[in-house]
Amino acid sequence: MANVIELDQVSLGWRGRIALRDISGAFEQGSLTAIVGPNGAGKSTLLKGIMGSLAPLRGRIRILGGRNELACLPQAAQLDRQFPISVYDMVALGAWRRVGAWRGFCQAEHERVLQALETVGLADFAQRMVATLSGGQMQRALFARLLLHDAQVLLLDEPFSALDSDTTDDLLALIRHWHEQGRTVVAVLHDLDMVRSAFPQTLLLARQVVAWGDTDSVLGQDNLHQARHLCAGDYL
């Protein structure tokens, strides 16, 4: 399998502070990988570096096909829920790279939006304003937007945070479907039981790579103890 994301001695940070140091490794095409680690380990920082919103202080990040192949689900806390936009319009933004600023939104794209909303269980929510959605409904809408992106590489930052079990199960099933389609999925997660049951590959961070590979091997007690020690905090 080809590597879709390669990291070569990458260090990331800001204002003179290094948050991640000397990260090297690769995400293979079609892989399903969890990124885990203690609080402050640099998990979200790594996603920002891959997406290009944070430039490496050192090293190189290579993306097969360029960053147009990437789509990212941000943490829910980073979103402005009060912006006056309907669920339909927010999901439709996922088609931006196909439609652009000036082309009309054709019937085929309209049908894609409706199909995405139906897939995530929000078929009757198209005209609702996003400010009226519950946390779980909002996360479903964000997954629908990812469906409109139709990207080959999906980066998910804490996609199941504070969700009920039904929503979690539905969205995890969608992630499994993407994996079965051969897409590459990378998700920042805290639930190690979920990681062990659903994610074949794991990257364990503690401001550096502690272990990266097969999940059962990575999440051994020695590695988890080392991660706790390196971050000097409680492991989540």
Q: In terms of pLDDT, which residue wins out, 14 or 115?
A: 115
Q: What separation, in Å, do the N-terminal and C-terminal C-alpha atoms of the chain show? A: 32
pTM of the full predicted structure? 0.92
What are the structure tokens assigned to 126, written together? Answer: 């198209």
Residue 144 has pLDDT above 50, yes or no: yes
Q: In 32-164, which ranges are continuous DSSP H helix? A: 43-51, 87-92, 96-99, 107-119, 135-149
SS3 content of the chain, % helix, strand, coil (to 5): 40, 25, 35
Compute the distance between CA of residue 63 and CA of residue 51 in angstroms, rounded to an integer. Answer: 9
Which single residue is written with the structure tokens 């994610």?
199
Compute the distance between CA of residue 169 and CA of residue 28 in angstroms, rounded to an integer. Answer: 25
Q: Do 41 and 235 form a contact (C-beta atoms < 8 A)?
A: no
DSSP letter for each residue of 105-132:
--HHHHHHHHHHHHHTT-TT-TTSBGGG
Give the chain's domains with CATH numbers.
3-231 (3.40.50.300)
What are the structure tokens assigned to 19, written together? Answer: 């948050």
Which amino acid belongs to residue 161? S
Lowest mean pLDDT across 32-46, 61-75, 118-132: 61-75
Q: To the nearest whole number, what is the mean pLDDT of the chain? A: 92
